[in-house]
Structure 1
Amino acid sequence: MTLNRLGAMLAPVVFTAPGHPDFSPMQVAPWHTEPIGAEQTGLMHGLRGDWPCVPFGRTDRPSDLPTGWSARTPHDDWGHGHSAHHDWAWISTEDPHTLALTITLPATDPIARLTRTVRARPDAAAVELALHIEARTACTLPVALHPTLRLDAGRVALDLPQHGPGLTYPVPAEPGRSRLAPDQRFDRLDAVPSTGGPPADLTRFPQPHDSEDLLQLMALDGPVTARYLDCGWALTLDWDRTLLPDLMLWVSHRGRLQPPWSGRHLALGIEPVCSVFDLGRVAAPPADHPLSTRTGLVLTPGVPMTVHSRLSAQPLAPQP
């Protein structure tokens, strides 16, 4: 496994098992070896795999949110938080299977320090992760983990403990490129309302149409598994659902055409969240919205909080 100082991003991660080919399911942005524009922030230069977002979300507010959404002002302009765009510092560990990084946030940030540990299990094809959050001031912040999977390795089937309730993004996630009907509720991930066509089945990839979409599944009661049918492996994500109750899906299916995306980013974000989509820093939904209570984690100085997650891989039985 490779843990990067930039954003504490985890990728590549290669799982092995006797008698099976190596399995590397985490996405690495296709421009990772290319120079990209100076206007791109640190996150974009290193985009890959899984990273923590504290606070989670965008800092630009869509202008066309539905009636009843109120405006909020983020404390800085770093999308997904300052820590996602800057280098972390290594921490030495006594365990040869564990890597650890920490970052101290600027004095103006409500978070004082983040620490991330990643442990490769020596007895299993699994990686255990912990994100330790120390608050500088009392605050409630949207928080997410950001596991992002590659979709360029053949067929992928997404297995969920339950399909709904779910909600589509309140506006087109990428104007002109989003496929899902905005601001809709659904009960099944294999029948999500779309624009100008039949419902979308977002349990199977690759999709028949390119698009850029966001949606949120509420109150999952178990882990999520992506079965890579042509690779012969499955990857399971488990996490502390008492802290991050929902799962946001980022379907980045060659939908963004501007550089450096250039219509070539093919990935699926499966993101445990306590947030209103990625909008919690810039907007709040009306009180009767299903996500109105997803304001974030309540953080207190002197009372650190730790979010645990786990990525594990299993060889699949032969597929037809």
Structure 2
Amino acid sequence: MFFPAEPPADARSIDWPHGRLTLHRLGAMLAPVVFTAPGQPDFSPMQIAPWHAEPIGAAQVGLMRGLRGDWPCVPFGRTDRPADLPASWSARTPHDGWGHGYSAHHDWTWLATDDPHTLALTIALPAADPIARLTRTVRAQPDAAVVDLSLCIEARVPCTLPVALHPTLRLDAGRVALDLPPHGPGLSYPVPAEPGRSRLAPDQRFDRLDAVPATDGPSADLTRFPQSQDSEDLLQLMALGGPVTARYLDCGWALALDWDRALLPDLMLWVSHRGRLYPPWNGRHLALGVEPVSGVFDLGRVAAPPADHPLSARTGLTLTPGQPLVVRSRFSARPLSAAECQP
């Protein structure tokens, strides 16, 4: 992947012995992140939207203009209710129209740090928002291929909101194997995530990510990429017991994602496999969102599931003014052994 010698004016970079990362003011988005090791090709696992340097990209608004890598979502989720969502999912009204939250669509402000391996950004939210301020800190560990992140959430009023982190991995770098820890049930989206382009059978429960009920056959294996068919799908895995690892078999690297599972107990997967055909996607977006979440898919702002749904208690994080809440996460990379490069 092309990696400019200097970051753009609205971004800053950290160079350290194990790589280089760039943090952007827009949405506090992190990407690219390039890991290095002696005798290994550079490893750049974060997706960057293919339209980022095109005129169609410059014409996008907010999040879509800079879509890339990892960013925080407070509150997490869409602000439009799917038209075919069953009536048993009661309606909720979001406090604004910013999908994934105001902070995902606006520029943050740099904070000074006294550590050359640390970058920090903050954003003050509008007065009508239940959140007063977010602060994001990104630190490269000087002696390891590890990036530590923290998100401090300060509430303006008492509230319970769906919250997620949004790591999005590239799937255009050859074969990828997704290794999961033990987890609870998996759940497919209650309706087709992208009408006419979703492959998974809606509103299904499953136990294994390599056997997810599908509409085009008995099951889909979502632990191996690229897939045999293009699609756009969302699903949620409950109660993960450890970090998630993506093995890039043709790159010879693995990327592990770990996070505070006491706060964000589940993992939402966004399989964006050339499924959206309209601009600016144009059938070319190939990425996997691996998103720690406290909430109900991306629906928690517009709907609540029926009481008997497995996610009915996933209402989000409870926030209190004067009591900042810090959510921590980590990316770590390592070269694969020859045996680990096998599917």
TM-score normalized by the length of structure 1: 0.98
Match of 1:76 among 96, 103, 128: 96
Runs of 4+ in 1 over 6 A off after TM superposition: none
Do structure 1's residue 53 and structure 2's residue 73 form an aligned pair? yes
- Which stretches in structure 2 are left out of the alignment for 5+ residues? 1-20
Distance in 1 between the 2:248 and 2:157 partners? 43
Match of 2:286 among 253, 266, 273: 266
What is the CA-CA distance between 1:40 and the residue it aligns to? 3.7
Q: Aligned partners of 2:46, 2:131: CA distance in 1, in Å?
A: 28
1:66 Cα deviation from its structure 2 partner? 2.4
How big is the alpha-carbon RMSD for the aligned residues of Structure 1 and Structure 2? 1.1
Establish whether residue 100 from structure 1 lines up as the match of residue 107 from structure 2. Answer: no
Match in the other structure for 1:146: 166
1:178–1:255 Cα contact (<8 Å) kept: yes
| 1:156 corresponds to | 176
SS of 2:32 mapped into structure 1: coil
Q: Which amino acid is 1:215 matched to?
A: L
Cα distance in structure 2, aligned partners of 1:45 and 1:113:
23
Residue 180 in structure 1 maps to residue 200 in structure 2? yes
Residue 236 (structure 2) pairs with residue 221 (structure 1): no
Secondary structure class of the residue paired with 2:210: coil
* Local SS of the residue matching 1:167: strand
Query: d(CA) in 2 for partners of 1:143 and 1:39?
Result: 28
Q: Deviations over 1:13-63 (max 9, x none)?
A: 001111111100000000000122787421000000000000000000012
C-alpha displacement at 1:68, in angstroms?
1.3
Distance in 1 separating the partners of 2:242 and 2:93: 34
Contact 1:167–1:216 (CA under 8 A) maintained in structure 2: yes
**How many Å separate the matches in 1 of 2:92 and 2:240?**
27
Task: Quote the residue 1:9 is aligned against.
Answer: 29
Aligned twin of 1:282: 302
Partners in 2 of 1:126 and 1:217 — Cα distance? 25
Q: Is 1:249–2:269 an aligned residue pair? A: yes
TM-score by length of 2: 0.92
Match of 1:176, SS? Answer: coil
**Alignment-mate amino acid for residue 307 of structure 1:** V
Offset of 1:159 from its aligned partner? 0.2
Q: Is the 1:164–1:189 Cα contact (8 Å) retained in structure 2?
A: no
Query: Contact 2:59–2:65 (CA<8 Å) still a contact in 1?
Result: no
Answer whether contact 1:163 1:189 (CA < 8 A) is retained.
Answer: no
- Counterpart secondary structure, 2:104: helix
Distance 1:178 1:3 in 2: 32
Tell me the number of residue pairs that the alignment of Structure 1 and Structure 2 aligns: 320
The superposition leaves residues 208-238 of structure 1 with CA deviations (integer Å, 9 ceiling, x where unpaired) of 0000000000000100000000000000000
State the 1:163 CA deviation. 5.3
Amino acid at match of 1:229: L
| Residue aligned with 1:244, SS | coil
